[in-house]
């Protein structure tokens, strides 16, 4: 029986097909393994795993378990989303210098949930504004650090938060990871992670050039000046792309 195309088109107008992308939110897709996320954030894989899956530890001969601090996008496979990446990135800022224990951080985050009504305090704009000071002050009471230590910790967290771009609703849309081994405030935004570009893989900022492609060609023997010319990028940006993918020693 021949197809009536006019009838079919009319049917589509009144009953448009439901696509898998209708409610697609790239920020929440489990696009990263724990190993990949740990590499981009510059932290040990075991540390990141404990943040998302919890950890069993032994205290005075007795096995204990503490809950994860962040809920992964895919709990079964422990697949992490861009939002998870940002949450872990902010948690890195909290942990990096003061080495505050996870149970203490969890209490601080629970406090913010009560105080700000935040569902995911590490992700939300409220944390980036008045939430940092509330959090640090609360941790100060718990761990009894000096006032100078509290100020230093707040400044460190803000240095990390400054590298997150947000949309009109205050939700993260881009993350500029730290690439170089130098003071945080001096590092350029040469590499960006954007869940809408290159499936969320790091690219040179302002382009769609994946850092992995540059690193592979560099490992194959292509010199940085040639890569910069071929891709129309600065040599500085190409070096940062390579650093993003390889160990700093190799770059």
Q: DSSP letters along 10-50, please?
A: HHHHHSPPP-TTTT--GGGS--B-HHHHHHHHTS-HHHHHH
* For range 164-191, the mean pLDDT: 92
Q: Is residue 183 part of a domain?
A: yes
The answer on pLDDT for 77 being more than 90 is: yes
Distances (CA, A) of 250 to 88, 145, 162, 219, 247: 26, 38, 28, 9, 5
What angle do helix axes 102-116 and 82-98 make, rounded to 10 degrees? 120
- Quote the pLDDT of residue 6: 46
Q: Is residue 42 part of a domain?
A: no
Percent of the chain residues topping a pLDDT of 70: 83
Question: pLDDT higher for 8 or 196?
Answer: 196
Instruction: Quickly state the pLDDT bin for 18 (edges 50, 70, 90).
Output: very low
Tell me which residue of 230, 129, 218, 227 sits closest to 170, measured CA to CA: 129
Q: Is residue 143 part of a domain?
A: no
Nearby residues of 47 by Cβ (< 8 Å), 6 or more positions away = 38
- Quote the pLDDT of residue 143: 53
CA–CA separation, 192 and 207 (whole Å): 9
The answer on pLDDT for 167 being more than 80 is: yes
Question: pLDDT higher for 12 or 94?
Answer: 94
Q: Which residues pair with 172 in a beta bridge?
A: 166
Q: Is residue 235 part of a domain?
A: yes
Percent of the chain residues topping a pLDDT of 90: 52
Question: pLDDT higher for 203 or 56?
Answer: 203
Average pLDDT, the chain: 84
Tell me which residue of 179, 178, 191, 192 sits closest to 234, measured CA to CA: 191
Distances (CA, A) of 196 to 34, 61, 153, 158, 240: 20, 48, 32, 25, 21
Q: Is 115 exposed, middle or buried (0-12, 13-18, 19+ CB in 10 A)?
A: middle
The answer to whether 87 and 120 are in contact (CB under 8 A) is yes
Show the DSSP H helices in 63-195 as ranges.
Answer: 82-98, 102-116, 125-126, 132-143, 147-161
Nearby residues of 28 by Cβ (< 8 Å), 6 or more positions away = 73, 81, 82, 83
Tell me which residue of 96, 113, 109, 214 sits closest to 155, measured CA to CA: 96
- Quote the pLDDT of residue 24: 67
CATH number assigned to the domain comprising residue 200: 1.10.10.10
The answer on pLDDT for 8 being more than 50 is: no
Q: Is residue 212 part of a domain?
A: yes
Q: Is residue 198 part of a domain?
A: yes
Instruction: Quickly state the pLDDT bin for 250 (edges 50, 70, 90).
Output: very low
Q: Is residue 62 part of a domain?
A: no
- Quote the pLDDT of residue 239: 96
Q: Is residue 167 part of a domain?
A: no
Q: Is 62 helix (H, G, I), strand (E, B) or coil?
A: strand
For 222-236, the pLDDT digits (tens) are 999 999 999 999 999
Q: Output the pTM of the full model.
A: 0.81
* For range 111-121, the mean pLDDT: 86
Instruction: Quickly state the pLDDT bin for 23 (edges 50, 70, 90).
Output: low
- Quote the pLDDT of residue 106: 85
Question: What is the tally of structural domains in the chain?
Answer: 1
For residue 184, what is the DSSP state? G
Domain span at residue 183 reads 176-251
Instruction: Quickly state the pLDDT bin for 247 (edges 50, 70, 90).
Output: low
Instruction: Quickly state the pLDDT bin for 246 (edges 50, 70, 90).
Output: confident
* For range 188-215, the mean pLDDT: 96
CA–CA separation, 31 and 21 (whole Å): 16
């Amino acid at each position: 029986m021949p197809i009536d195309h006019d009838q079919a088109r009319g049917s589509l107008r009144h009953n448009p097909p439901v696509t898998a992308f209708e409610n697609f939110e790239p920020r929440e897709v489990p696009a990263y393994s724990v190993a990949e996320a740990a590499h981009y954030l510059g932290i040990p894989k075991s540390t990141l795993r404990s943040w998302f899956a919890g950890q069993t530890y032994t205290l005075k001969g007795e096995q204990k378990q503490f809950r994860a601090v962040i809920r992964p996008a895919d709990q079964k496979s422990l697949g992490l989303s861009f939002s998870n990446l940002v949450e872990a990135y902010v948690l890195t800022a909290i942990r990096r210098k003061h080495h505050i224990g996870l149970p203490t951080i969890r209490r601080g985050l629970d406090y913010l949930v009560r105080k700000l009504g935040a569902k995911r305090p590490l992700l939300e704009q409220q944390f980036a504004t008045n939430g940092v000071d509330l959090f640090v002050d609360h941790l100060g009471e718990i761990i009894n650090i000096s006032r100078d230590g509290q100020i230093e910790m707040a400044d460190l967290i803000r240095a990390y938060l400054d590298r997150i771009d947000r949309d009109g609703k205050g939700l993260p849309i881009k993350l500029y990871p730290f690439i170089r081994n130098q003071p945080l405030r001096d590092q350029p935004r040469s590499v960006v992670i954007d869940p809408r570009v290159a499936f969320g893989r790091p690219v040179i900022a302002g382009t769609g050039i994946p850092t992995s492609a540059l690193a592979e060609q560099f490992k194959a023997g292509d010199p940085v000046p040639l890569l910069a010319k071929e891709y129309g990028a600065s040599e500085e940006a190409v070096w940062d792309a390579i650093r993003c993918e390889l160990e700093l020693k190799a770059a």
